[in-house]
Each structure stands twice: as C-alpha cells, then as structure tokens.
Structure 1
Amino acid sequence: MTRLRPSQISTSPASRGQATNGSSLKTPYSVEEKPIGSARHVRIVGIGAGASGINMIRTLRKTLTNFELVIYEKNDGVGGTWHENQYPGCRCDVPSHNYQFSWRPNLEWSNFHAPAEEIKSYLCQICDDENMWDTIKTRHQVTGAWWDEARGLWDLNVKDLATGSEFHDDANFIVDASGILNNWKWPAVKDIQAFRGNLIHTANWPKGFDCSGKRVAVIGNGATGVQIVPAIQPGAKKLYHIFRTPTWVVPPRLMSMKLMGSPAWEILKGIEMDANEDFSAPQIEKFKADPDLYNTFVKAVEKDINGAFPVVLNGSPVQAFAQQKVVQYMTAMLGGDEKLCKALIPTFPLGTRRMTPAPGYLECLRTGNVEVITGQIARFVPEGIQLESGEIILLDVIICATGFDNSFCPRFPIVGRNGNVQDRMKFETPKSYMSCALPGVPNYFTFLGPNAPIGHGSVFTLSEHIARYIASIIRKCQTEGIRAIAPSEAAVNDYSEHINTFMPRTAWGSSGRSWFKGGKEDGPVTALHPGSRIHFFHMLEHFRGEDWDYTYEQASQNRFAYLGNGFSTKELDPTFDSTWYLDDAACKL
C-alpha cells in the first residue's frame, strides 16, 4: 500500500502516482473535530443505464449517505443491450427467472428464455417503481474524463445528444457501467459502403424492417447470428449464411439438463411449459401463489448454471462427456449432412467459443432456401457480396451479426495519473484489478472490465455483487478520509500473472477464433474470469486494502485522521441502538 501526498505528486509521466515520504515535507497533524463514521459528501457520475447501471443506483442508495448521483445514458431509453438489440429472434439464452435481480423477482416471465422486449420492459418498470428517472439523463454521452490530482476530482465533458451542445461536470467517483457489448462493429470487409441494398447491423435494427420475400445474407454465427437466422429463414426468398469459424451449438437448456443428469431436471419436469417453452397461465399463477415452489425452481436452475465451469476445463471427464453429447446433438440436428457437419461442428474443445443454445438454427440450415458459405468475403459490391472465389452473391439485404468491439479500450479519453487509458489499452493486453478498477486511474470503477465473468451466467446477479463491492469502497473513502484510491500497479500485475498462468487449463485459452481473446485465434484471454461463477463471488467478498494506493484528505496524510474527536456516529445517532453488540449473535459464540 502506498500513500500519496497531493503536493508530492510529480508532473512527469514516469513518476506520477508514486509517493515521496521525505519527513521534512510532512505537514503537522491535527485532530479533526468530527466523530468516527462521518461520511463526507461525494458526487458520483455513472455511465450507462443498462442492467448494471440501474442496479448501481439502488445499491448506492442502500449503502451510502451524503452523496449525489447522476447517470449519463447515450440512448433515448434505459436497458442497454436490451434497448439496442431488437432484431428478430432476439432473446436471452440464460433462463428468465435467473436473468433478473435477486431483489426484484418477476413471477410473470412468459417464456423460459425471455424475449428482448420483455427484458427491456422489466428494466423500465424498475426505473418507474424505484423512482430512478430523475437520476438518469438519457441522450447524454460522456466524451472525456480527466483526473485532477490537486482537487481529487474527475473533470468530465458531457454531450447533450438532443441539442449537440457540450458541458462540463465533475465527480469524486466515476462508475462506468457502459459494458463491452454496446459498441457494435461492421465486418472487416472492403468496400462495405458500396452495397446498394439494405445494410443492417443486428444491434441497430431498423424498426419494422421485414426480410420477407428478399434475398438475404447473414454474416456471422455468434450468439446473435444463430438467433436471427431461424427467425427470418421462413420468410426469406433466399438466405445465405456466411461465417468463417465453426461454433458449438449446444442443446436447449432443458435438454442439456436432462442429458447431463442435472438435479434441476427433477424440478423442471413438474413445471408446465409448452413446446416453445412458454409457461402456461396456470403455472404462472402457481408461482404467484406458492413462494416456496418459486424459490425452489429458481435456486435449482441457478445451481445448474453455477455448475457449468467444469465443462471448460481441458481434459476433464465432464468436458469429454459434454463434448460427445454436443457432437451427437449437432450431427442429428444437421441430419448427418457431411458438408454441414464439417462446416458447423468445431474441432477445438467445447467452450473455446461461447457455447450457444439455438433452437431451430441447425435444423433451418437444411431447408431449401438456405445456403451455408464458409469462404472468405472479398468485398461488397453494389449488387451484393463478392467471395474470394470471384463469385458474386446477388442480394437485397445484408445483415451483419458481427458483434462488438470488445477491446476494452474506452470510447472516450480517460486520463488518469499515467496518461490516457486509451493509449495503454491499444498497445498492451488489457489488465484490471478483479475486472473492477484500473491501476493509475483513481476513483474509477468498471462493471465487466477486462477479465470479468462475461460467460459465467446471468449478468444481473453478477452486477449485484460488483455493485456492492464498488459501493463498499466508496463508503470506505467517505468515512476514512480517503480522497483518492486506485489499485497498485504491482497488484494488477500479480493478478494478471495469475490469469495468464491459469487460462491454459481452460478451453477458453485453446486455439480457436473467439471474442474471449479479442477475436484472435491465439492469445491471452481478456474477456473471462479465471474461475467459476462462485469463485468470482467469493473473490469479491472481502476488500483487500493492501492492494490499493491511497491519497488522504488531510494534508498530513495521516491514515488515522478519520478517528476524529473520540466519539462515534453510532452513539451520537438517537435512532441507533448504541448497545447493538449485546444482540450480536457472533459475539456470543
């Protein structure tokens, strides 16, 4: 742990952030006339009002006192991913009742895997019921942030997208909940603007657009591509599905639970769903009337999700068994077609790419109006796509299911003690502290930063754990006289070393093109946590103060100045039971 004295911070990039502890410069210490537990006022700026940002509002309200909060959201509504992605067939591939906040159960999900519009409505309803709209400024985009060491504040530029005007704001803390799956990208293809038909990215689907009767190409077979293909195939005149790399398409989750012998299967057998996995009206009423049934159902499915980690451990019996079953499933769904099986079934280990359930996807590839193309695209031409073979595919619509920029490089300048984070992220492997903070970037926290548990189940419950962790750090700063806090370079390097040494144990680190590795065939895994979902939760249970650099509010930089005048806020608060410790069960052990 290093204590940083503002007056001793060097302006040179090489030494910025290092402490100088010359005793001759030490400011005399004086007792602060306030009780221990006093929380100084802080201003917090949040970026993004998706699931993580919405949950953060509630967590900060529950955890902190004496603070103000504003959330800047670039879209015209809340929901993040579920506001932006409205393409045909869009839905969550995590079971609905586990893709929700633990503090806000929805008993009326219509389907085992909720459609996008329903998830968006769920998030909007929370903002209504929790009175969050005054905190969220939609159509406002943060365009730059600069750390001011002397003031211990962030200076921010914010653009009002409705008017085009920019203004300045400042904050003691920034909480970046913008995520990594929101900066969509076009495929790296020549002459992409040459096409004269409808060019669409799935994350920017034109409202009301219909592919019926058209010649359509869908580029990409990731989580989005495998949803949109079966959704538009029945109405398309001709559908060309173009991709470079095979992908693991796993059986629907209910089937997987049965095949893998999941304990959840016994409970799910008694849940009323039709062939499309829609819950029956009587089943929804049972959930409402019987909280024990509902909780047993939710916890059983959650336990199944939490138990998926052994599947990605290279050489494990679980992986071998699961891979065998997935190959059998894919072969059956493709009707044993030798050409399709060769194009679709990977030779790399199960889990190297994101494992995706895609009901109807494999089956529809065998229909008469679908053609699978695995050759490289040479360029776009006015009338469609030219393949490297020279063949031109005539098209009316090109749909790019080509994902997002997951480089972790911020979309705007974030200038900390060591310069612009963008510069570092562009030339170095992205590194963070437990996916939540960056070295040399004080009072800046992220949701789902480098090596976050993106592929570890519901982001809703993940965001709850991360939010509590971040809020506890901010409260520590408020009540312990800490002006600025950032993880040390040494701690981040050690954490990164552990990740890089661990990942070869997993399919995530195996050869095979994946966004887990920044779209590379080989390379460091930057998008996943080195362990299970429970491992991540356990890691965040306790704050490791020894891993952080501190600058204190008091000029003397005495770490115990927060002890104050000898009194406690607990004894001075007439509403607080100042003999609480007599009721603490832990004290009686």
Structure 2
Amino acid sequence: MSNPLYTNRPIRVIIIGAGASGLLMAYKLQRNFDDVEFQLYEKNPDVGGTWYENRYPGCACDIPSHTYVWSFDPNPTWSSTYASSTEIFEYFKRFQTRFNLGEKTKVAHQVVGAKWDEQQGKWHVEVRDLVNDQTLNDTCDVLVNAGGVLNAWRWPAIPGLKEYRGKLVHSAAWDEGLDLTDKHVGLIGNGSSGIQILPAILPQVSKLTTFIREPTWVALSGIAGFQPRKFDFEERERFENDPKALQAFRHWLEHNVNSMYPLFFGGSETQKQVHEQFIQAMKDAIGNPTLEKKIIPEWDVGCRRSGNHRPKLLALTPGVGYLEALGHEKTTVVYGEISEITEQGCRMEDGQEHSVDVLVCATGFDTTFKPRFPLVGSHGRTLAEDWKDEPRSYLGVAAPGYPNYYMFLGPNSPIGNGPVLIGIEAQADYICRHITRIQQQGIKSMEVTEEAVDDFIAFKDQYMKDMVWNQDCRSWYKGNTADGKIIALWPGSTLHYIDTLEQVRYEDFKVGYFGNRFGYLGNGMTKLESAGDADLGRYIRPHDDAPIIGSKFTYVKAGPELSPIQQIVG
C-alpha cells in the first residue's frame, strides 16, 4: 500500500523468434516500458526469420518493397520494386543493430517447450542451446510467440521421395553451392517460390520440367498497378535526401493498396474488372491456348494465395518473367498429380515418368498454426492438442487456456488482406496494452474466454461466406483444402483490423490477481505527485484539444498528394 497508483511491477517477457515480428516486439518493449526485462530466443544462427532462411534463386519480396517496412522506419535505398531477400534481411538486421536489440537476443537457441505455472503465474520455458547442445530453463510472466506460421518447411507428401538418386533440394533450405549449369531440373510447385525460381534458374539449366498441379493467378503488372522495375540512382538519391518525397510515395502506395480490398468481395465490380484484366494479361503473356486452359484459374482473383511462402500484401503473386518462361523452348510443363517419386524423377498418374538431374521442391510449409514445441496451458493440455481439428484464436493474438500468452500472425490475422507489416504493428501494440495492465494492476493472469473465441469464430465464419476466399479453390487459407473453413485470414480489411485492435475488450478475458484486485490503488497518490518538480496542474489548457473519446466520426480526406506516381517521383 506504500506505492503510488500505477507503480510498475517488474516483469519478464520471453519472445520466441527474432524475425520481423520478434524484433518489432523487442523494440516496442524497449520503447514503451520501464521495469520490463525481455529476452529473444532465435533458433537460427542470425535474426531475420524467413529472410535469413530463404535464399533460393530469385527469392524476393512479393509485395512492393516500400510497403514492406515498419510504418515508422522507411528504407529509401530499396533497389527495386520487389527487393531481394538479401536486401530485406539487411533491413531487419540494421533494425536490430540501430536499436541495440542484439544484446537481448540469443541466436541458435530454440524454444523446445513451455508450461504455465498457475500457482506462480509464470511460464516455465525450456530452451535448447544448439551450439553447446545444452538445455536451459527460463521463466517469464508473459510469453510471446513470434515464430511465425510459415517457418517449418516441408517436403511434399509424395511416395518415394527418399528413393530419388539425383540432387534433392527444398526452396526454403536451398544449397547455395548448388550448380545447375547444364542440368535438367525438375521443379515441383507453382506458388510464389516456384514462380520466382523458374525464370531465375532458366538461363543456367539445359532443360526445365515444371510440375504443376493447379492453376494460379499471376499479377503481370504488379500490385496496385505498381510496375516491377529497378529504382534508378536519381530516385533513390531523392528518397534519401528528401524525406517528404519518400513519405508521399509511401503514402500513395499504401493508399492504393488499401483501396483494393473490395476485390475480395465475390461478385463485386472491383473483382469483375480485375478478373477481366488478369485473364487478358495472362493470355497475352502465355500465348498458348492449351497452356492457358491449364494455368488460368476459373475461380475469382484472390481466392487462393499463390503459394505459401510468406504473408502477402493482397494474396497476388507478381510473376516477373514466369509466364513467359513457361513458353520457353527449354521448359516443359507437366500438368497433373505426381503419383510417386522414382530413382530418376517423377511418375505422373498417367504412368509417364519424367527423369531429371535435380529435383527442386517449392512445396511450402506446415501451415497448421500449431506451435513447433509443446505449449502446455492452464488446463494441462497442449495447444497442438486443442488445435488438432481447427486452429481457433482470438483476433489472431490469443487462445483460451493459455494465460499471458500472445502470438503474432495467429489464425485469422490479416496476412492477405492488405499491407501485412502494419497488421503486425497493430498486434505488437495490442500486446503492449495487455502487458501495461498486467504490470501495473497486480494481475497474475489474463486469459481470453472460450465464449469470446466461440463468438469471434462464429462471426468470422458467417462473414467469409460471401468472400472470394470461400470459393472452390485449394488454399492454405483453408488448411490446404478446397472447401474447408477459412482459418488464416481476418474477416475484414487491414485497416479494419488495426481499428479493431485499438481498443482491448477486457470483458472477453478472465483475470486473476495477486491479492485484492484494487491493491494497485496503492497509497492514494499518483506517480506524478511523487515527483518533486512535476506539473501538478497539467490538465489546464487554453482550448479543448483532447482526443475524441466517444463515437463521433472524424477522418482525413485524401488530398492531392495521392496523385499518380509519376507526379510524386518526378
């Protein structure tokens, strides 16, 4: 009772994963809190997550580079519309260095288990030191899983894979010493990784056989009308020296991208227009009526994310050179199901065998959303058990039965609804609001209720019925089914998600306290009053400049700065 109102309780946070989300969470904790200790554990030898792991030929951002930055941390030096994976890794590495997050990061340390201790109100976390082959034990008040959903690559579930005698490689575990010169290469998959790999390796190989199971939409002109191209020296120099020009360009791009959300409403005018444009553009690029029938989908644009490499801007894959490469004299397109992998290559359902020297599997990741380690909650079960039939989260950040546990890009997050990194920022800020309350109000545990999750899932399922994602296309959005529930996407736009997370619905959580729930009221004074030179009349002001706290609607009208790109970059 001797402390003033809202006195900080020292707490500890463990962050699992030092990719984009984990680094951002560490930055937010460092920026927003006193008396919060945190530790990042990263299984790889360096930070960067998917951008450390994925280095296959042609690997690049599949959204415009200037949207793949934090809202507060632009990068004026991107080399092109779709920056390489190396450039993106360097962006996040610089972020870690600039904000001194390295001293709070332990690389080559993999979290292998976590269990909630109800009595202590803490998580007991088991960590494997991969370099020294030792197991460490750590504890924390709040556990944040920033491991990502697309971080466990998988071989295709095709019989005979181990029988293949040639060189076998996965796109997410690329052998950078692999020489494809004059090799006959087989490529399984036409998702975003496969679409990038094919034109990148075509000049080196003697032949390329690409195995395609399903059609896919390929964006020829880039996202939101932004053409794939290199930024010339003058543009990059202007962005570096004129922050207003860079801000205007980024603002224009984000505005354009967010304006495209109506594309995902089935039967909308936007969908009809885009559908016609895509068909014509793809036909022009393919130039082969037989191939057109196999490559161009019948379902609406956006129904399926083109591959499952990483969260996208608008679920559309910019295929720079891909469709043209399909018609190249070196390329053979084999359409249909592979029945088995043989010692020489792939045998199709019709019995025909295709022999190759190197077999590249661009077949994606385990997208079940289950943690890659046993996570034992307050009820004694693991999250993998709870999610064995359906991953069910609360707003993509929490799960019932797991107090003080938060996740990034959990089920039904905005990973294909618009700009993805701003959605991650919204999640980080949301988690920080929870941590503030846990730290300052004597809270032992905060856990979302089963009823709140049930209601959210029911709303989401109803909303999704009219969306293009619900059409008859196989997608990891629906657990790699054609007719299952949409488990990956948020029921709304990215802007809709940001606004939803602005306010915490504490009524959806059950809260446990250390002692009396009002114990945080302390000695009847505020921290401000405890500071000798503080302004104790700070609420006096000449006019009402307070933010609107009710339902009154205000908005900022789009101004002339959102003019065509040519007028912005000069």
Q: TM over 0.5: same fold?
A: yes
Residue 110 (str. 1) matches residue 73 (str. 2):
no
Would the alpha carbon gap of residues 578 and 165 (structure 1) be closer, same or farther in structure 2, given more than 3 Å must change?
same
Deviations 1:479-506 (A, max 9, x none): 1111100111111110000111111111
Q: Which has the higher contact order (CA 8 A, sep 6+)?
A: 1
* 1:405 alignment counterpart: 366
Supply the RMSD in Å over aligned alpha carbons: 1.5
Deviation at 1:63, TM superposition (A): 1.5
* 1:247 alignment counterpart: 216
Deviation at 1:289, TM superposition (A): 2.4
Q: Give the counterpart of 1:472 among 425, 433, 453.
A: 433
Q: Match for 2:291: what amino acid?
A: L
* 1:339 alignment counterpart: 290
Q: Which moved more, 1:243-252 or 1:38-47?
A: 243-252
* 1:507 alignment counterpart: 468
Q: Match for 1:559: what amino acid?
A: R
Q: Decide whether the 8 Å contact of 1:211 with 1:236 is kept in 2.
A: yes
Deviation at 1:573, TM superposition (A): 2.8
| Secondary structure of 2:40's aligned partner | strand
CA distance in 1, matches of 2:500, 2:4: 32
Pairs within 5 Å for 1:527-546 = 527-546=488-507
Q: Decide whether the 8 Å contact of 2:412 with 2:488 is kept in 1.
A: yes
Pairs within 5 Å for 1:1-12 = none
Deviation at 1:404, TM superposition (A): 0.6
* 1:280 alignment counterpart: 232
Would the alpha carbon gap of residues 541 and 276 (structure 1) be closer, same or farther in structure 2, given more than 3 Å must change?
closer
Pairs within 5 Å for 1:559-570 = 559-570=517-528
Deviation at 1:587, TM superposition (A): 4.8
Gaps of 5+ in 1: 1-31, 258-264, 266-274
Deviation at 1:460, TM superposition (A): 2.5
Deviation at 1:226, TM superposition (A): 0.6
CA distance in 2, matches of 1:367, 1:98: 32
Q: Decide whether the 8 Å contact of 1:63 with 1:475 is kept in 2.
A: no
Deviation at 1:248, TM superposition (A): 0.8
Report % sequence identity: 39
Residue 173 (str. 1) matches residue 148 (str. 2):
no
| Secondary structure of 2:96's aligned partner | helix
Pairs within 5 Å for 1:295-314 = 295-314=247-266
Deviation at 1:459, TM superposition (A): 3.1
Q: Decide whether the 8 Å contact of 1:94 with 1:457 is kept in 2.
A: no
Q: Give the counterpart of 1:456 among 404, 417, 420.
A: 417
The TM-score normalised by the length of structure 1 is: 0.89
Deviations 1:251-283 (A, max 9, x none): 2227x52xxxxxxx7xxxxxxxxx961111111
CA distance in 1, matches of 2:294, 2:485: 26
Q: Decide whether the 8 Å contact of 2:254 with 2:419 is kept in 1.
A: no
Residue 188 (str. 1) matches residue 157 (str. 2):
yes
CA distance in 1, matches of 2:345, 2:238: 52
CA distance in 1, matches of 2:303, 2:74: 33
State the number of aligned residues.
536
CA distance in 2, matches of 1:396, 1:404: 24
* 2:567 alignment counterpart: none
* 1:420 alignment counterpart: 382
Q: Decide whether the 8 Å contact of 2:419 with 2:494 is kept in 1.
A: no
Q: Match for 1:252: what amino acid?
A: S
Deviation at 1:580, TM superposition (A): 2.3
Q: Decide whether the 8 Å contact of 1:432 with 1:492 is kept in 2.
A: yes
CA distance in 2, matches of 1:511, 1:362: 23
* 2:396 alignment counterpart: 435
* 1:493 alignment counterpart: 454
Q: Match for 2:440: what amino acid?
A: T
CA distance in 2, matches of 1:157, 1:576: 44
Would the alpha carbon gap of residues 431 and 574 (structure 1) be closer, same or farther in structure 2, given more than 3 Å must change?
farther
Deviation at 1:340, TM superposition (A): 0.8
Pairs within 5 Å for 1:210-229 = 210-229=179-198
Would the alpha carbon gap of residues 296 and 378 (structure 1) be closer, same or farther in structure 2, given more than 3 Å must change?
same
CA distance in 2, matches of 1:45, 1:539: 26
Q: Match for 1:379: what amino acid?
A: E
Q: Match for 2:126: what amino acid?
A: N
Q: Decide whether the 8 Å contact of 2:304 with 2:473 is kept in 1.
A: yes
Deviations 1:71-112 (A, max 9, x none): 000000110010000000011121111111122211111111
| Secondary structure of 2:69's aligned partner | coil
Q: Decide whether the 8 Å contact of 1:252 with 1:357 is kept in 2.
A: yes
Residue 395 (str. 1) matches residue 319 (str. 2):
no
CA distance in 2, matches of 1:553, 1:510: 49
Q: Decide whether the 8 Å contact of 2:184 with 2:206 is kept in 1.
A: yes
* 1:82 alignment counterpart: 51
| Secondary structure of 1:516's aligned partner | helix
Deviation at 1:163, TM superposition (A): 1.7
Deviation at 1:133, TM superposition (A): 0.7
CA distance in 2, matches of 1:574, 1:322: 63
